[in-house]
Structure 1
Amino acid sequence: MPLSELINLRQLLHQTPEIAGEESATAEKILSFFTNLKPDQSIQNLGGNGLAFVFKGENPGKRILFRAELDALPIQETGEPSYKSKTEGKAHLCGHDGHMTIICGLGEKLASQRPQHGEVVLLFQPSEETGEGAKRILDDPKFEQIKPDFAFALHNLPGFPLHQSVIRKGTFAAGSTGLTIALTGKTAHAAHPDAGINPAQVTARLIQTLPKLPEKLKNFALVTVIHAELGSLAFGTSAGRGSLSLTIRAFDQKDLDGLIEMIKTEASRIASAEKLGIEFSLVESFAVSKNDPNAAEIAEKCIEELGLEIVEKTEPFRWSEDFGLFSQSCPAYLFGLGSGENCPQLHEPTYDFPDELIETGIRIFEGIAREVNG
């Protein structure tokens, strides 16, 4: 398939976005594309709407996996490409349409020339944006059939020159999680607040105290207050319930896990002293994306051989990527591809994946596949 047809595919995917957990029609489009390529094995409904396609070599060898994401964002697109999203309030504003197209292009390369040994798995993951998809993939019994020796992924990066490869040893992107603290006291008349237990003072104290806890850690960590709620807009009532939501992030998985426990312990202590009930709920949990040195050596050798400009980040990115969970299950490598210094940032309503990156991404991934599997 000429590059122009891959660009058409990318733009079709852009027009028909589906958000996390709803990617069935997107999966159908990908399945239709791969049916013509006749992979040696196809797995559907993997961890939800996920798909995997396996291309096998004649001889035994390593099994490597390349991952793309199926889901779009629940944001209204305000840019005006000719292929603008046709779905109200939903758009591919993170470039997953481009990432999928790169993996489709890699599938074409593998279909026309199978690897010499081992297996190459092309994975299309659902629900990346909510941090749920990778876990569902890894927990699916069907994943055992494709469990890799190495896993690779890329992400386009606005703000970096077009085609520049952004690499990093060790942690590439932070781990993060959302945490909601629910406080339960006792509602009372606003004229007699002493007859109730109002969470207001505890909520205020938690807002002041919890963001300071990362100061106890040596490495980067951050607690951001993102939402607070107290009682209801009833002027005759002293609140009896409240909640506080935080985003917690760190560059080290142990720091992240430890910080969550520190927050729970401190919040419980403060709430208990005021006789408040307390409950915790975690949402949108992303593991730290940690690059394996052996996987890094393979990928970076291929990038260098292609003559692409390389920049090595001194510090990890503060945002999170669901690919991080794969790096806990096998040696993995995540890198960035610059999508232009003037490209709108990810998740902005005018963002659009640059089609010029499709060929670059295919060349890097094919180089990695040929390096490992011949």
Structure 2
Amino acid sequence: MSLNPQLIAQMTEWRRHMHRFPECGFDLPLTADFIADKLESFGIEVTRNVGQQGVVGVLRCGDGSASIGLRADMDALFIHEQNDFDHRSRHDGKMHACGHDGHSAMLLGAASYLAKNKGFNGSVHFIFQPDEEHGQGAQAMIDDGLFERFQIDAVYGLHNMPGLPEGNFTVRPGSLMASESSFEIVIEGVGGHAAMPHRGIDPIVVGSQIVLALQTIVSRNLSAIEETAVVSATEFLTNGTVNVIPSQVTIKGDCRCFTEDSLAKIEQSMERIVAGICQAAGAQYQFTFVNTFYPTVNSPAQTEHAIQAAEAVLGRENVEANCLPLTISEDFSSMLRVKPGCYALLGNGVESVGGCALHNPEYDFNDRILGHGAQYWVQLVCDQLK
């Protein structure tokens, strides 16, 4: 199975169109309509506005009851593009700096090919998701009945990876990517003159003790072998000045881990530490812990299906089947909490072609991998819906 040059040229055209007109979050009217119109032009049944701006296309063939879901993200980032090529962003302050334009184009290419060539028995669901960057889009589609309104047995996702050679594919069963959580600790002390600290409760001293104690969570509350995690205090804010002990300190930070069990332990340990140190000092506190992305955990069987499809398309020598986990995060994790599935990474290239890091104002998706991604999707469908 191979895609004809005309389809690859069309995917390039679609990708560059979406790059020119990036939209962010859930505010994706142009992008969602562009994708939905293309799917309908292929003869695919389309449902719009799933989870606000999500699009789901359904293609059926034969009499099989099996089904598969393929997901691409559509949203861009609030970054002002610094490239000067012709397809650069026309929307100031917004750009496709993560390659979601390429992800959507690859899935559109697979949809076009499958609509014309069929060759499978069952149903394919093409899922185009809003607001991945803020970690809310997948859950919004789920809450709007994605997996009740559409019969989907397993769900798959794919992301480009700068620094990985183009045409290389990497994945692992189990935890591939970390969770992302933020915390805020507000410590209420009693401020006063810097020359008379004994008359107050110094929240800077309390906060400093908390920052240091937070570093014991990973080293003393989690398994050094089984529970990799990161807890980072990133902001320390006060309402004091040069000769004034503040009355309030705010500590903010970020946590990453690879299992929901570790996530629960981190949150519980953090509040226990804050409560204990504040009580010892006579200070009051407010503690907020917000989880934005869950760990991305691949199902073993579906990961094996992904590996087999990638090897058939890219060659066994270009597939890494048990890569190291990554501390970046992805909201496809929310879909994997509901359905079995697999998320994988496709090399965007190295150095000058495709090597620029994600979320960088000079990034651009490498159009040479559009065919690889679309062929992978088609192979996966044909393998799983025989």
Q: What TM-score does the superposition give when structure 1 sets the normalisation length? A: 0.92
Say if 1:169 and 1:292, in contact at 8 Å, map to a contact too: yes
- Residues 61 and 373 in structure 1, CA contact (< 8 A), matched pair in contact too: no
Moved more, 305-314 or 255-264: 305-314
Q: Is the 8 A contact 2:160 2:347 kept in 1?
A: yes
Kindly provide the CA deviation profile for residues 224-271 of structure 1, in whole angstroms up to 9, marking residues without a partner as x: 222221116x55754222221111111222112211221122112222
Kept in 2: contact 1:130–1:284 (CA 8 A): no
Bigger drift between 57-66 and 123-132 goes to: 57-66
> Equivalents in 1 of 2:13, 2:198: separation in Å?
66
Task: Provide runs of 4+ in structure 1 moved above 6 Å.
Answer: none
| Aligned residue among 235, 239, 255 for 1:231 | 239
1:220 aligned to 2:228? yes
The answer to whether the aligner puts 1:240 opposite 2:247 as a matched pair is: yes
Which consecutive residues of structure 2, in runs of 5 or more, have no partner in the other structure?
A: 1-5
Structure 1 partner of 2:360 = 348
Q: Residue deviations 1:103-138, cap 9 Å, x none?
A: 111111222134643211111111111111122121
Matches within 5 A, 1:16-35: 16-35=21-40
Counterpart of 2:298 in structure 1 is: 291
Partner in structure 2 of residue 5 of structure 1: 10
8 Å Cα contact 2:170/2:323 also seen in 1: no
Counterpart mapping for 1:1-374 below 5 A: 2-40=7-45, 42-114=46-118, 116-188=120-192, 196-216=200-220, 217-218=222-223, 219-231=227-239, 237-283=244-290, 285-308=292-315, 309-342=318-351, 343-374=355-386
For residues 142 and 168 of structure 1, the distance between their equivalents in structure 2, rounded to whole angstroms, comes to 26
| TM-score (structure 2 length as normaliser) | 0.90
Aligned residues: 372
What are the superposed Cα offsets for residues 35-94 of structure 1, whole Å, 9 maximum, x if unpaired? 212223x22222221111111233132221111111111222222222111222221111
Question: How far apart in 1 are the matches of 2:26 and 2:210?
Answer: 33
Instruction: State percent identity of aligned pairs.
Output: 27
State the superposition RMSD in angstroms.
2.1
Question: 1:347 is matched by which residue type in structure 2?
Answer: H
Q: Any idea what the Cα deviations from partners look like across 1:137-191, whole Å, max 9, x if unmatched? A: 2111354112521111111111111110112122111122112222333455666
Q: Matched residues in 2 for 1:366 and 1:348: separation?
A: 30
Residue identity opposite 2:9 in structure 1: S
Structure 2 residue matching 1:124: 3-state secondary structure:
strand
Q: Answer yes or no: is the 8 Å Cα contact 1:59–1:116 preserved in 2.
A: no
Provide the secondary structure at the position in 2 that maps to 1:333: strand
CA distance in 1, matches of 2:304, 2:255: 31
Q: Which runs of 5+ in 1 are unaligned?
A: none
How many Å separate the matches in 2 of 1:133 and 1:323? 9
